[in-house]
Structure 1
Amino acid sequence: MVDEAQAKRLMAKIASLPAQRVAQVEDFLDFLHDRERARAFAAASTSAFANLWDNFEDAAYDAL
């Protein structure tokens, strides 16, 4: 999480950019948020799929 001083520095830097660059920054931030969300979903689903992934029938695929 960003502290208040860091947030102010980032906002000042963003505010100094041309509008097109601000849009790119926003797109990049959306990308980072989506990636973090995907990682969180993957981590949360690992235990739910453990029984499907760790079984005798699929052991041959584990060796590949």
Structure 2
Amino acid sequence: MSDPKTLIDKIKALPPDHLPEVEEFVDLVAARAQNRAVVRAAAAASSPAFEKVWNNPDDDAYDEL
């Protein structure tokens, strides 16, 4: 993992006209992380609702596939 100070120094060394592109990329990475967190939370929240459907004797044969 890179040191945050090193990254900040690299950003400071960029020409000012490149900063919007860097900011857009940082926003994209942050949004992607947030989307993944939402998907994980939704999956965890829905798991109890589907437990009866997923865990039943009729479907036990499929668990072995």
Q: Is the TM-score greater than 0.5?
A: yes
- Any idea what the Cα deviations from partners look like across 1:23-64, whole Å, max 9, x if unmatched? 011011110000000000000011000000001121111111
Q: TM-score, normalised by structure 2?
A: 0.70
* Paired residue type of 2:26: V
Q: Which has the larger radius of gyration?
A: 2
Question: Secondary structure of the residue that 1:37 maps to in structure 2?
Answer: helix
Q: CA RMSD in A?
A: 1.9
The count of aligned residue pairs is: 52
Ranges in structure 1 where 5+ consecutive residues have no aligned partner: 1-8
Q: Is 2:22 aligned against 1:21? A: yes
SS at match of 1:46: helix
Query: 4+ residue stretches of structure 1 with deviation over 2 A?
Result: none
Q: What does residue 41 of structure 1 align with?
A: 42
Deviation at 1:21, TM superposition (A): 1.0
Structure 2: runs of 5+ lacking an equivalent: none
Partner of 1:50: 51
The TM-score normalised by the length of structure 1 is 0.71
**1:61 maps to which residue?**
62
Identity rate, percent = 35
What is the deviation of 1:19?
0.8
